[in-house]
Amino acid sequence: MDDRWAAAWRLLPDYLSQHVLLSVCALALGFAVSLPLAVVASRSPAVRWPSLFAASLIQTIPSLALLALFYPVLLALSTISRRLFGAGFPALGFLPSLLALTLYSMLPILRNGVAGIRGVDPAASEAAQGMGMTGWQRLFWVELPLAAPVIMAGARTAAVWTIGAATLATPVGQTSLGNYIFLGLQTENWVFVLFGCFASAGLALAADQLLGLIESGLAGRSRLRIWGGVLGLALGAAAALSPLAAGHARAGYRIGTKNFAEQYILGELMAQRLDATGARARLKEDLGSATAYRALAASEIDAYVDYSGTLWTNVIGRRDNPGREAVLRDLAAILGRRDHVRLLGSLGFENAYVLAMRPERARELGISTIADLEARAPDLRLGSDLEFLSRPEWTDLRRAYGLRFRSSTAYQPTFMYNALEDGQVDVISAFSSDGRIAAQHLVVLSDPRRALPPYDAVILVSPRHANDARLIGALSPLVGAISVQMMRQANYSVDRTTDKLTPTAAARWLDARIRRK
C-alpha cells in the first residue's frame, strides 16, 4: 500500500507538469480565439448565432471522442503536409490534445463574452460614443472593462472543464494526471485512480479559486485581489512547470505502451534498460492498438512491444497462418521494406488470443478444444475485452469453428476475469501470458484448426532509430530472454488484487530474473 502511494508521488512532478502545460496552453489559446470572436459576435448577429451554435455543438461531443477524432485528422493533415512541404508534424500527444481541449474551452468564454459585452449599460455606450471615442477606444476603455467580471466567470468555467478533460489526453499519447487513472483502472490499482482524481480535482479547484479572486477583484475594482489572483496563478503554474524545464534538456527516447499490465511492465523494462546506458527514456502510455503502430511508423514513439499476430492481421492485412517462424520472418521483411520499421526480435513468449473457461464448467460440458465449443456455443455466453469482437481474428475463429454464442459482452480485461469467476459468462477471450490464467486455474482451449495466428511479443523500433546503436544495444539483450512463465508471474504481480506491485517494480523484478538466467 505504502509502496503504491510512494510510486504515485514520484510520478507527480512529471504528470502534473504535463497536465498544467497542456491546460494552460489550451486555455490561453481558447481565450485568444474566443474573446475576439465574442467581440465580433456581440456586434453582428450573423456571426453570433453560428459561432455560439458551433461552440455548443462541440460541447455535446464527448470529450474523449473529440480527443480521439483529432488523431486521424492530424495524421491525414501531416501526410498531406509531408507530401507538399516535405515535413510533417506529430499527430499524437500534445497537438491533438491541445486542439481538442482548446475547442472544448471555447463555449463558456464565448457565451459569457457575448453576454458581458451586450450587457454593458447602453447609457455608458452612448456616453462613450457621444464623447467621440472610436470603436476601439469604446471596446478597450468601456466595454471590455465593464464586461470583465462576466468574461472572467466564463474563463473560470472553461478552466475547470479543461483541467478535468485534460485527464482524457492520456489515450492519445499525451501524459497527464489521467495516466494515474488509466493505469490504475487497467491494473486495478485503486490508489492510483484515487490519486489521479484528487490531483486533478485539486488542481481544478485551485485554478478556480484563484480565477475567482481575479473575478471578484474585477467586479469590486480591487487591485489587490486582481494582482493576488494573477500572482497566485503565475507562481502555481511556474512551480508546476519547473520539472519540465529540468527534464526537457535530457529528453530522450520515447517508449510506447498499450493499455494493459504487460505493456506497462515491458515499457518500463525497456526504459530501465535505456536509463542504465545513461540515455533518458520516457513512456508514452495507454496508446490504442492501432495508433501505437502508426505512431511508431511516424517516429512519434521510438520503440514499443507489439504482437506478431496483431501486426500480421491488422497492419499488413494477412489472414493465413504459415506458422510462428514464417510469420516473424515475413513481418520483419515487410515492415522494414514498407514502413522502414525495424523488428528487433521476439522476446521469447507469446501473448495469444485464446479462449478460456473455468475448469469445472469445462469438465461439466466436456469441452477441451475450441472445436468442442461448436455444438455447445448456442447455450454459452462469451465475455471478451473491448477489442476482440471487432478484430479480424474473431471473424476467422468464428468462421473456422462455426461459433455462435448465446450472447457476447465486452469488458475491461480486469472485469472480464471477474465476470468469468462470478459465472456471468462461460467463455472468455483471454491472453495466454496473462497471470490470471494460472492464478484462477483456467482451462485454455486448444485451437486444432490453427485459426488464430501466433502472437509472439516483438520489439519494434521506429524508422528514425532503426540503426541507433545505443537503442539497439540496450534493447537487444531482451530478445529471447523472457519465458511465458516469467511474463505471467510479472503480469500477475501487477494484476492481482492484494499485495500488488507497480509496473515499475514488476519491471525491476523481471529484469533481475533475466539477468540471473
Partner 1 sequence: MIAFDRVEKRFGGRTVVGPLSFEVAEGQFVALLGGSGSGKTTTLKMINGLVTPDAGVVRVDGEVVGAGPLAPLRRRIGYVFQEIGLLPHMTVAENIALGPRLAQWDRARTAARTAELLELTALPAEVGARLPAELSGGQRQRVGVARALAAGPRLMLMDEPFGALDPITRDALGRDYRALHERLGLTTVMVTHDVTEALLLADRILVLGEGRILADGTPRAVMRADGDGRVRAMMATPMEQARRLEALARGSADG
Report the interface residues with partner 1, using CB under 8 A.
121, 123-134, 137, 141-142, 145-146, 221
Rounded to the nearest whole angstrom, what is the least distance from the CB of residue 218 to partner 1 in the complex?
Answer: 9
Rounded to the nearest whole angstrom, what is the least distance from the CB of residue 31 to partner 1 in the complex?
Answer: 21
Residue among 127 and 239 whose Cβ is closer to partner 1:
127
Q: Under DSSP, is residue 501 helix (H, G, I), strand (E, B) or coil? A: coil
Q: Quick one: CA dihedral 33, 39, 44, 48, positive or negative?
A: positive
CA distance 421 to 184: 21
Rounded to the nearest whole angstrom, what is the least distance from the CB of residue 110 to partner 1 in the complex?
Answer: 23
Residue among 131 and 326 whose Cβ is closer to partner 1:
131
Give the residue among 108, 115, 214, 99 at the shortest CA–CA distance from 154: 108
Residue among 124 and 197 whose Cβ is closer to partner 1:
124
Rounded to the nearest whole angstrom, what is the least distance from the CB of residue 228 to partner 1 in the complex?
Answer: 19
Residue among 137 and 440 whose Cβ is closer to partner 1:
137
Rounded to the nearest whole angstrom, what is the least distance from the CB of residue 109 to partner 1 in the complex?
Answer: 20
Give the residue among 459, 458, 428, 278 at the shortest CA–CA distance from 358: 428
Cβ count near 215 (within 10 Å)? 23
Helix then strand then coil, in percent of the chain rounded to 5, is 70, 10, 20
Rounded to the nearest whole angstrom, what is the least distance from the CB of residue 136 to partner 1 in the complex?
Answer: 10
Rounded to the nearest whole angstrom, what is the least distance from the CB of residue 38 to partner 1 in the complex?
Answer: 19
Rounded to the nearest whole angstrom, what is the least distance from the CB of residue 77 to partner 1 in the complex?
Answer: 44
Contact 336, 316 (CB under 8 A): no
Residue among 216 and 418 whose Cβ is closer to partner 1:
216
CA distance 367 to 448: 13
Residue 230's H or E segment, with its range, is helix 223-248
Identity of residue 325: E
Rounded to the nearest whole angstrom, what is the least distance from the CB of residue 42 to partner 1 in the complex?
Answer: 18
Rounded to the nearest whole angstrom, what is the least distance from the CB of residue 221 to partner 1 in the complex?
Answer: 6
Directed axis angle between helix 178-186 and helix 413-422, to 10°? 30
Identity of residue 229: G
Residue among 145 and 392 whose Cβ is closer to partner 1:
145
CA distance 110 to 24: 18
CA distance 420 to 425: 5
Residue among 145 and 345 whose Cβ is closer to partner 1:
145
Residue among 124 and 206 whose Cβ is closer to partner 1:
124
Directed axis angle between helix 94-118 and helix 45-60, to 10°? 140
The phi, psi pair for 381, rounded to 5°, reads: -110, 135
Residue among 220 and 359 whose Cβ is closer to partner 1:
220
Place of cell 469453428: 401
CA distance 258 to 266: 10
DSSP one-letter code for 93: S
Residue among 25 and 133 whose Cβ is closer to partner 1:
133
DSSP one-letter code for 423: T
Contact 160, 207 (CB under 8 A): yes
